[in-house]
Amino acid sequence: MRFCCVQGGRITSVTAGGQQIRAGVFIDATGRRAVLLRALAGTQGFDDGQFSGRQFDNRRFDNRQFNDRQTVIWARFGLPGVESGAEFGAGFGNSTWLEAAPNGWWYAAEVPGRAAVVALGTDPKLAKAGGVYKVHSWAAALSGTALIAPRLKQARLLPVSFRITASYSYRAARVVGENWLAVGDAACAFDPLSSAGIYKALVNGQEAARAICDGYREAYANRIHQDYETYLIKRAELYQAEQRWAKSAFWAQRQGRAQGEAQGHRSVSPKEMSTLA
Ligand SMILES: Cc1cc2nc3c(=O)[nH]c(=O)nc-3n(C[C@H](O)[C@H](O)[C@H](O)COP(=O)(O)OP(=O)(O)OC[C@H]3O[C@@H](n4cnc5c(N)ncnc54)[C@H](O)[C@@H]3O)c2cc1C
């Protein structure tokens, strides 16, 4: 989406893929890109109702409140076919595997197509210092895991699948407007450790539909914010549970033992947000 036109507090049209789209209600379901919300954040006086049909470039603005700025570095592995008879460690079965590490956590799960996805969640600065933005160093770090590496025996790393993805925890300052709503990760995003993002997106979609039909938009907004508060409490408990690495900056920051982003709401600058776009 390139432009968003707002008039009298209502979105009148958006321009996407070279087409101008008009609708009675607009829903931002663009995930972590939050394209519509960021376009709206670009309006001067967004909260005081002084809209005047201006057009805004959506790439320069963001008014989300961030609680954590982790990054996820991940890749796919090809698993040997069942018919090959190759030994495939113990496999991951139907479970998602999580393994804490000094500088973050590892995540692994089988996905359709005889493949597995393996991810490292960490801080961008730690990733840079540890060299794990490079596939070989990342694979070397993975080989040191106690639970996940043995389950990848005979699996083949697919280097072209290697990716770095922002996995920030945040909520939008506003999720409902005159004729728009945000759902899923556009409204708020959880740490992948919560394993709740897909469920949340589906439930948000149902609730947003009801809010549009029945007009309970404030109730919808309150629900999103309550869910996010509940998530923050659960998330704190989750990170508190890992007590092995007293000197680790990653865990200290998330356990309230260091000053940092996990301790309060913080907006990121447009420059920082460019890593998400
Ligand atoms: C590494 C990792 C692991 C995760 N593991 C889990 C897990 O185990 N369980 C779980 O429940 N959740 C997990 N999540 C979170 C989950 O993936 C998300 O919360 C969920 O996908 C959010 O759904 P969504 O529909 O809001 O956004 P998305 O799934 O991101 O969908 C947004 C869609 O909008 C499209 N889009 C973006 N910009 C535009 C545009 N300008 N125009 C048109 N379309 C656009 C995108 O292409 C995409 O199709 C994980 C996330 C990460 C990063």
Domain residue extents for the chain: 3-67+172-273, 71-166
If you classify domain 3-67+172-273 with CATH, what class do you get?
alpha beta
Q: What is the CATH number of domain 71-166?
A: 3.30.9.100
- The answer to whether the 3-67+172-273 and 71-166 domains have the same CATH topology is no
**Lookup result for tokens 């629900």:** 223
* pLDDT tens track for 193-231: 888 999 999 999 999 999 999 998 999 999 999 999 999
Lowest mean pLDDT among 180-189, 202-211, 219-228, 261-270: 261-270
31 C-alpha to center of ligand 1: Å? 5
SS (H, E, C) 66-89: EEECCEEEEEEEECCCHHHCCCCC
Question: Which residue, judged by its Cα, is nearest atom 3 of ligand 1?
Answer: 192
Does residue 155 sit in helix, strand or coil? coil
pLDDT tens track for 131-172:
999 999 999 999 999 999 999 988 999 999 999 999 999 999
Ligand 1 centroid to Cα of residue 258, in Å, is: 30
β-sheet with 188-189: strand ranges across:
65-68, 169-171, 188-189
Q: Dihedral sign, CA of 79, 80, 86, 91?
A: positive
The reported pTM is 0.83
What contacts 230, CB < 8 A, 6 or more positions away? none
